[in-house]
């Protein structure tokens, strides 16, 4: 029963990828699907019960979205935290900014594609979000943020490659808006001290 449900979710997710994903050049192979499935299972097995319960209770459309993310991001780390992955994202983001400003379309395109296919942290994304935000409602904002950041980065890459740096700069604005929105929703100000009153 559980397996059947998972396969149904996986099938819908792949259908969704085929129809939607701006960031996709071709459909994932069965091997890639299998590796993504293993990553999801391994991630869940690592979770402590309080998180595991919340993750299991997420509605099917969120589970599908998380599976889609796992399929797309083929670089998956066994050790890195989300903060470390974010440092890598920031490095690519800054490379894109510099390249757009200096009319280097090829560098902008490469760095933007790398950004769109960033690594996944140990255990996936859920362990690093506030526990009270592991709900269908809060995670329901993720597809829009993914579209802004990763969809925006892929459009940016295409524009930069054609030498249209003005369009690339506009897409860079969408990418930035995605970083800002996600941080506002899930994160807040980094490094606030508990030793200040």
Q: Does 190 sit near ligand HEC (CB under 6 A)?
A: yes
d(CA 173, CA 73): 23
Pick the closer one to ligand HEC by CB: 117 or 187. 187
Count Cβ atoms below 10 Å from residue 143 Cβ, excluding itself. 18
Closest CA to 160 of 121, 103, 115, 117: 103
Least Å distance, CB 83 to ligand HEC, is 4
Q: Does 70 sit near ligand HEC (CB under 6 A)?
A: no
Q: Does 111 sit near ligand HEC (CB under 6 A)?
A: no
Least Å distance, CB 130 to ligand HEC, is 8
Q: Does 179 sit near ligand HEC (CB under 6 A)?
A: yes
d(CA 17, CA 30): 14
Least Å distance, CB 89 to ligand HEC, is 5
154: Cβ contacts below 8 Å, ≥ 6 apart: 22, 23, 112, 113, 116
Chain-centroid distance, C-alpha 170: 21
111: Cβ contacts below 8 Å, ≥ 6 apart: 92, 93, 95, 96, 99
Q: Does 129 sit near ligand HEC (CB under 6 A)?
A: yes
Pick the closer one to ligand HEC by CB: 42 or 187. 187
Query: By the criterion CB under 6 A, which residues form the site for ligand HEC?
Result: 82-83, 86-87, 89-90, 93, 128-129, 142, 145, 149, 175, 178-179, 182-183, 186-187, 190-191
């Amino acid at each position: 029963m559980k397996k059947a449900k998972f396969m149904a979710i996986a099938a819908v997710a792949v259908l969704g990828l085929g129809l939607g994903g701006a960031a996709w050049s071709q459909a994932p192979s069965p091997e890639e699907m299998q590796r993504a499935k293993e990553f999801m299972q391994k991630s869940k097995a690592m979770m402590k019960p309080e998180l595991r319960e919340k993750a299991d209770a997420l509605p099917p459309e969120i589970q599908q979205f998380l599976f889609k993310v796992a399929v797309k991001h083929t670089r998956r780390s066994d050790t890195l935290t989300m903060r470390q992955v974010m440092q890598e994202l920031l490095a690519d983001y800054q490379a894109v900014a510099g390249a757009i400003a200096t009319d280097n379309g090829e560098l902008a395109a490469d760095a933007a594609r790398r950004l769109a296919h960033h690594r996944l942290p140990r255990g996936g994304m859920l362990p690093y979000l506030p526990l009270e935000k592991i709900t269908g409602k809060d995670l329901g904002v993720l597809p829009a943020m993914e579209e802004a950041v990763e969809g925006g980065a892929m459009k940016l890459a295409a524009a930069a490659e054609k030498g249209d740096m003005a369009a690339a700069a506009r897409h860079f604005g969408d990418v930035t808006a995605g970083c800002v929105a996600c941080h506002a929703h899930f994160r807040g100000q980094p490094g606030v001290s508990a030793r200040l009153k």
